[in-house]
Structure 1
Amino acid sequence: MDFLKLLRSLEEFLYELCTWFLFFPRTVYRVVMHPQRMARYVDTELTQPLDQQFDDAISPPMFLMLAVLLAHGVELLMHQQVTGIGMLSRTVFGNEESLLLYRSITFAVWPLICSVHLLRRRKLPITRASLRAPFFMQCYLTAPFAVALSTSMVFVRLPGTLSTRIGIAVSVLALLWYAGAQAHWLKARLQRPWPNVILSTLWVLLLGIVINSLIGIALLAN
């Protein structure tokens, strides 16, 4: 019986893995081309029974983790793995599982910050239930940014002026897209004037950069 259970588990895992090859690029296209529509899609899906949620896409947190995994795959393909300097950084960067977890958390900082900011501006209680919908929406918006930014850093580290310029251009385009998607998302949910929304967007982006920079400095210092 245990062997049959193991086979069924493997069957489900294999099926889920194969569906990722279909739904991941499809979800990327939908998020990049229609970010606000996908944000509303999250609202609709979270009202469905748990086993029916995100049936025609990849769930947002998994989508973000797969985006980080894809970016890591590009890094490995280009032989541009990050190496640590101190003991702590070597522990994190020297282990594939730890590195992927670290990068997933660092990119998840932006969805968390933006979700908390939204709830505070709307004067809503910050609970697990209230955070769920905005956090899921933000995971969708952050995933393409994570892939583009991580891939651009790979090109920046490659020798040669052309690759560096390509990396910088991709990172700038990714940041502009992400800032625009965030601004429209906050505008739709806060219903505030554009100057107010732009300030909120800049605050969220800068706070995320500061937090991730501090984490990076702490890793390099140990």
Structure 2
Amino acid sequence: MDLMALVRSIEELLYEIASWVLFFPLTLWKCVRHPIRMMRYGASELTDKSEHRFAEALSPPILLILTLALLHLIEIPPSEELARAMSWLFEDDRDLLIFRAGVFGLLPLFCAVLDLRRKGAAVTRETLRPPFYSHCYLATPFILVVDLALIAAQRPMSGVAALTLTLGAIGWYVGALAVWVKREARIGIVQAVGRAAATLTAFVVIVFLGLSALVEASLN
């Protein structure tokens, strides 16, 4: 690589990182205000093979990863007992961030698989990508608010605020997901709300059981 090519690469990298400062809050706000529109945008942009793909917003995976990185910076450290038992996870911030991305990335993945199943489509790497991108846009604000609520819950006199944030996030997420399911599956709104609530409940139970088993194994 010659010197000019290296300089251009550095310029492009610097511009990309700087643009995140602007497009991160803008994309997040769009996801909160127009979740269904952004879900469709996330899937439709994948058909654009040019370098201008996702020109108006951050790509869904980038948005989710930046959100998790931001939460990672403000989170409260775990207890000494848990940190000692799971030293393989908490010793390196990179390992913890990757672990969090894997866990929270399961929500859009779980919903994307259900979308394909409802359509009777095969689950492949190619067919899974569009719904996964769509659900990343929907899941990111929900994950952000719930994680902030969990952080707030660990502080004195913040229980009511944490509960309010959590209930608000759940209501917003289930409502938006219900609208999406209603349009995709062409069913009534009551049935769609039931499916959306069942989807979130199933995901929470699966993750809770998995993390509980992991913590239990580490402590023993």
TM-score, with normalisation over the residues of structure 2?
A: 0.90
In structure 2, distance between residues paired with 1:3 and 1:199:
59
Equivalent residue number for residue 124 of structure 1: 121
Consecutive unaligned residues of structure 2, counting only runs of 5 or more, are: none
Aligned to 1:81: 77
Q: 2:164 aligns with which of 148, 163, 169?
A: 169
Tell me the CA shift for residue 74 of structure 1. 2.4
- Matched to 2:26, the amino acid is R
State how far apart, in whole Å, the 1-side matches of 2:89 and 2:8 are.
Answer: 34
Identical columns (%): 34
1:156 pairs, out of 153, 158, 163, with: 153
1:1-222 map, 5 Å: 1=1, 6-75=6-75, 80-83=76-79, 85=82, 89-158=86-155, 160-161=156-157, 163-221=158-216, 222=218
Cα deviations by residue, 1:13-68 (Å, 9 ceiling, x for unpaired): 22111000000000011110000111121233122114221011100011111111
CA-atom RMSD, angstroms? 1.9
The CA distance in 1 between the partners of 2:154 and 2:6, in whole Å, is 43
- 1:175 alignment partner AA: I
SS of 2:47's equivalent in the other structure is coil
- Residues 5-14 or 192-201, more deviating: 5-14
Q: Distance in 2 between matches of 1:31 and 1:216?
A: 28
Structure 1 residue runs without a partner (length 5+): none
Alpha-carbon distance change, 192 to 17 in structure 1, aligned in 2, over 3 angstroms:
same
Native 8 Å contact 1:68 1:100 kept in 2: yes
**CA deviation digits over 1:113-166, x for unaligned, max 9?**
1111111111111111111111100000011111111111111011x22x1221
Structure 2: distance between partners of 1:152 and 1:220? 21
Query: Is contact 1:186–1:201 with CA below 8 Å preserved after alignment?
Result: yes
1:12 Cα shift?
2.3
**3-state secondary structure, aligned to 1:203:** helix
TM, length-normalised to structure 1: 0.89
Say how many residue pairs are matched: 216
